[in-house]
């Protein structure tokens, strides 16, 4: 390998990818007003989703200190609770809450993921650093710093995902969460270039968790806390690097022992485009219902068909689901579904709910709804087929569609129209329609946790962009203390 693949720091040569990520995290100046405005919506959407997750005991049982009583007065706050924790555990709490319901933003490419998962580490570190600064008479970080960190974390995770498919080698996408969070929180903690690279090298050396918990026959709730685990691990590695822990310059490229040879089948990890603000500007919002994103447009189609089929469910002979290759690979499931984590990653289950109820909520994945015999009866009548154009347009950087279509045939030989939806409401092409609904979703989620007066106070701040970005992080986080 030639020397252009490395950068030199204190006599040690680091892999170019590690250098590029570190330099971006430390030095890139964000000039995109659109990116900041979308980051504002990502922040409120993620916090609202996190608050909604607190209604579910299976999420709440994972929260709080790692051992009973291990609180840290003056530490990082966990929104919707009274917890004050060390930033590592706070990052896990916040990340777990944001991701629990599969209702936060999404990025689809060669690898899939949810870039707002990084907000677990970002918010925890921002609150912790700010409160420490204030005790020393220094200025706290502002919400604008949080938005900038979110833009950068989105970009690192999303651009890595464009051409580097972890799922093809059986690894989970949360590895990219860990890498992105490590870079931005190390910078937020005041790390210099070498410290950020040291932390990043350790993030890559961790490797990645297997996707086992996302697929039959082992689908389970770990997929709902895996991102919290990744972003909290990032905070730990960043704190260690700031404290002087060493790094590993060729963590990616070392022959036989580096990440690429051991876990990536010898392929080179690449950045498909220069790091900027592309991902935040194009990120997908889950707005109307919680569903694995490859199924979002399929559920929209099901909603459109609901009125015409709801009284004819027994007359259905066949349901043809036309989709793209990634959806078939991830969420085409037959047979028993064992828990909510299994159901919210089943294309057929989500479509059945949409056809039967004309709606889809987090509660629809719970056992009570799943016991409805009509769901499995409809699933058995579904045929999933690929449209190669859908698959091409899914990967086209100018389109980034997530297309699905549904057509229903009845036993009497009649059939519905083929209902097609190529771009979900959370897509950049539908921003004018979608962003007001992000705000509406946030308000509804706030009201699941806070009295109406307090929710209105939070809304006024969060929708005033200039006031919001100037707000000190501790003031902002304090508004979410229950």
pLDDT of 10: 53
Rounded Cα–Cα distance for residues 324 and 336 (Å): 23
**Phi, psi at 455, each rounded to 5°:** -60, -40
Is residue 7 within 8 A of residue 13, CB to CB? The reply is yes
Of 154, 401, 187, 176, the closest CA to residue 278 belongs to 154
**Phi, psi at 214, each rounded to 5°:** -105, -5
Structure tokens at 394: 């899914």
Rounded Cα–Cα distance for residues 35 and 278 (Å): 8
How many alpha carbons lie under 13 Å from residue 142 in its C-beta half-sphere?
9
Residue with tokens 């404290």: 243
pLDDT tens track for 50-86: 999 999 999 999 999 999 999 999 999 999 999 999 9
Q: Are strands 107-108 and 84-85 parallel, antiparallel or unpaired?
A: unpaired
pLDDT of 68: 94
**Phi, psi at 112, each rounded to 5°:** -105, 170
DSSP calls for 145-180: HHHHHHHHHHHHHHHHHHH--SGGGTB-THHHHHHH
pLDDT of 291: 84
pLDDT of 416: 97
Q: What parts of the chain have a pLDDT lower than 70?
A: 1-12
Which string of b and e fits 333-372 if b means at least 16 CB within 10 Å? Answer: beeebeebbbbbbbbbbbbbbbbbbeebebebbeeebbee
**Phi, psi at 15, each rounded to 5°:** -55, 140
Strand stretches in 247-392, DSSP E: 316-323, 382-386
Rounded Cα–Cα distance for residues 424 and 402 (Å): 7
Rounded Cα–Cα distance for residues 393 and 387 (Å): 10
Give the long-range contacts of residues 444-448, CB within 8 A, separation 24 or more: 444/48, 445/48, 445/49, 445/51, 445/52, 446/48, 446/51, 448/51, 448/52, 448/54, 448/55
Whether the predicted model's global pTM rises above the 0.85 cut:
yes
pLDDT of 400: 86
pLDDT of 4: 41
Structure tokens at 362: 């987090």
């Amino acid at each position: 390998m030639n020397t252009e693949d490395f950068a030199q720091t204190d006599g040690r040569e680091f892999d170019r990818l590690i250098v590029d990520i570190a330099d971006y995290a430390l030095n890139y100046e964000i000039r995109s007003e659109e990116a900041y405005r979308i980051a504002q919506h990502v922040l409120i959407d993620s916090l609202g989703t996190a608050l909604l997750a607190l209604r579910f005991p299976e999420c709440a049982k994972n929260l709080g200190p790692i051992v009973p009583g291990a609180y840290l007065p003056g530490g990082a706050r966990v929104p919707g609770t009274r917890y004050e924790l060390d930033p590592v555990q706070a990052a896990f709490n916040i990340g777990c809450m944001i991701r629990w319901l599969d209702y936060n933003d999404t990025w689809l490419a060669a690898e899939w993921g949810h870039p707002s998962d990084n907000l677990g580490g970002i918010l925890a570190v921002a609150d912790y650093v700010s409160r420490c600064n204030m005790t020393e008479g220094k200025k706290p970080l502002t919400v604008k710093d949080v938005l900038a960190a979110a833009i950068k974390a989105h970009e690192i995770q999303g651009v890595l995902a464009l051409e580097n498919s972890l799922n093809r080698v059986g690894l989970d996408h949360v590895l990219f969460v860990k890498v992105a969070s490590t870079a931005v929180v190390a910078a937020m903690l005041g790390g210099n270039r070498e410290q950020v690279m040291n932390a990043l090298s350790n993030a890559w050396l961790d490797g990645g968790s297997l996707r086992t918990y996302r697929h039959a026959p082992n689908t389970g709730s770990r997929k709902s806390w895996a991102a919290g685990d990744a972003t909290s691990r990032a905070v730990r590695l960043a704190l260690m690097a700031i404290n002087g822990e060493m790094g590993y310059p060729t963590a990616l490229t070392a022959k036989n022992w580096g990440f690429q040879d051991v876990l990536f089948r010898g392929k080179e990890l690449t950045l498909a485009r220069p790091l900027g603000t592309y991902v935040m500007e194009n990120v997908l919002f889950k707005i109307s219902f919680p569903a694995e994103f490859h199924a979002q447009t399929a559920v929209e189609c099901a909603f459109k068909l609901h009125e015409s089929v709801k009284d004819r469910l027994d007359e259905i002979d066949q349901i043809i689901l036309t989709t793209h290759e990634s959806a078939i690979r991830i969420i085409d499931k037959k047979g028993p579904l064992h828990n909510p984590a299994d159901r919210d990653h089943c294309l057929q289950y989500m479509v059945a709910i949409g056809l039967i109820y004309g709606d889809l909520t987090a509660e629809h994945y719970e056992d009570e709804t799943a016991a409805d015999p009509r769901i499995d009866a409809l699933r058995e009548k579904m045929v999933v087929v690929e449209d190669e154009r859908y698959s091409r347009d899914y990967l086209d950087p100018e389109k980034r569609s997530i297309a699905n279509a549904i057509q229903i045939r009845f036993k009497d030989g009649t059939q519905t129209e083929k209902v097609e939806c190529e771009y979900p409401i959370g897509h950049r092409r539908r921003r004018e329609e979608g962003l007001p609904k992000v705000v509406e979703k946030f308000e509804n989620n706030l009201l699941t946790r806070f009295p109406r007066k307090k929710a209105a106070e939070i809304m006024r701040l969060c929708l005033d962009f200039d006031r919001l970005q100037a707000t000190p992080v501790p003031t902002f986080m304090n508004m979410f203390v229950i």
